[in-house]
Amino acid sequence: MKNVEYLTGSENIVTTPMQPFSSEICDFMNEISLLIMKSAQIRTYTDISALAFWCRKANIQKLKTEFKDNGDRLGRGLCFHIAPSNVPINFAFSYFFSLLAGNANIVRLPTKKFPQVDCLCEVFNNVLPHYPNIKARTAFVKYPANNDITAEFCKMADARMIWGGDSTIISVKSLETKPRCVDITFSDRYSVCIIDANKILELDNDNLARLSKDFYNDTYLMDQNACSSPQLVLWLNANPRARDIFWNAVYETAGKNYELQDAISVDKYVKICQDAVNLNIVKTTQRISNFLYLTEINGLIPGMENIRGKGGYFYEYCLKDIRELLEVINEKYQTVTYFGINPNKLRQIIIENNLPGIDRIVPVGKALDINVIWDGHDLVRELSRQISVDYKTSEKVYFSR
């Protein structure tokens, strides 16, 4: 363990559990939120601002009220987190979810260098001394790829939260753990967007700009690398004029806000050429400058989840009926973002047809809004244990005779 760098918290971690949503935990998270919001420099990172907004007092109290049964629960003990390498602040959300469940936490930070990680570690280091119980149960660590170190942390864990590709998850799950260790895994997923084209035609300029910015936030902010970022746009009532209006608005938004990397420009160009040659469902391809590439397909096929773009490369398809999705949805499908459709109707279709995939249905603009219900998991409940009491057979029955 000599190669482990402890950036935040305690090297000698205390593993005894706490109560979910304890006052101390809620106050700690709110203080993190307040410190972030006071820093003009840190607030420039939109993802950190979103984290601060999520962990503010009002939201945590709302989650606590909705949770209801925290009085009969304790955390499981120690949770070991392996954060994804491509999403800078995911480690903080993972930590907060487990902390709210009452756990001690060892969090392996992304090996890739992100300024957001450094900023958040500084914030945590400033706040944790005010909360000694939580500091004693917290460790943010960095170390090179090393299964021996990961194995040692896994042996200590009562729960693990593993974020990454399928191969990473399989590798970590093969490591020895306690018999009662609970694993929650977040593997590679696939997401789509459904838009009623007729509703686009009803928008004025301000609302069209708002919709395009929301779509931009869902996709470009993470270069479409987030599992919940749509790769495929599905059109209902596919009016060509409406589609042009929408994509032109997205192009204008991206042109004003997106920092296009040279490597991504090259990757997109190579991708559109490869698709034109190798993808037999391609109907048309279109390049609207380097900021936006579109490939229209003429059908949905099994394995659609493997057809992906990034950095502003989207596939689109005109649905004849929303039920066309039933033939291709598998367990890889995570999020549907929508505009102009009834989400309850879509939810009912998913349930009635016993579909193995789609865990989230959210409006356009909410794809990246992570919460305690994520990937189909009720995280605080799964990361805590319930202490049950059978009152019907308590000893008072005997003395009442």
pLDDT, tens only, 142-177: 998 878 999 999 999 999 999 998 899 999 999 999
Domain assignments of the chain as residue spans, ordered by start: 5-188, 190-374
Q: Which fold has domain 190-374?
A: Aldehyde Dehydrogenase; Chain A, domain 2 (3.40.309)
Greater pLDDT, 88 or 2:
88
d(CA 29, CA 349): 38
How confident is the model over 329-354, as a mean pLDDT? 96
Q: How far is residue 314's CA from residue 234's CA, in Å, rounded to a whole number? A: 11
**What integer is the mean pLDDT of 274-298?**
94
**What is the fold, at CATH topology level, of the domain defined by 5-188?**
Aldehyde Dehydrogenase; Chain A, domain 1 (3.40.605)
Tokens for 162?
């593993």
The span from the CA of 255 to the CA of 280, in Å, is 31
**Residue 87: its pLDDT value, please?**
84
In DSSP notation, 208-238 reads HHHHHHHHHHHHGGGTT-STTSEEEEEEES-
Provide the pLDDT for residue 399. 61
Give 317-334 pLDDT, tens digit per residue.
999 988 999 999 999 999
DSSP letter assigned to residue 55: T
Mean pLDDT confidence for 56-85: 92
- pLDDT category, 394, cuts 50, 70, 90? low
Q: How many CB atoms lie within 10 A of CB 376?
A: 11
Contacts of 77 (CB under 8 A, 6+ apart): 15, 16, 17, 103, 104, 157, 158, 159
> In sequence order, what E strands does 156-197 have?
159-163, 182-186, 190-196
Whether residue 401 is predicted with pLDDT greater than 60 in this model: the reply is no
Average pLDDT over residues 361-367: 97
pLDDT at 6: 95
Average pLDDT, rounded, for the chain: 93
Residue 384, pLDDT score: 97
Distance (Å, rounded) from C-alpha 117 to C-alpha 158?
25
Task: Taking residues 25-31, report their average pLDDT.
Answer: 98
What is the predicted pLDDT for the residue at 364? 98
pLDDT of 391 above 80: no
Categorize the per-residue pLDDT at 85 as very low, low, confident or very high, splitting at 50, 70 and 90: confident
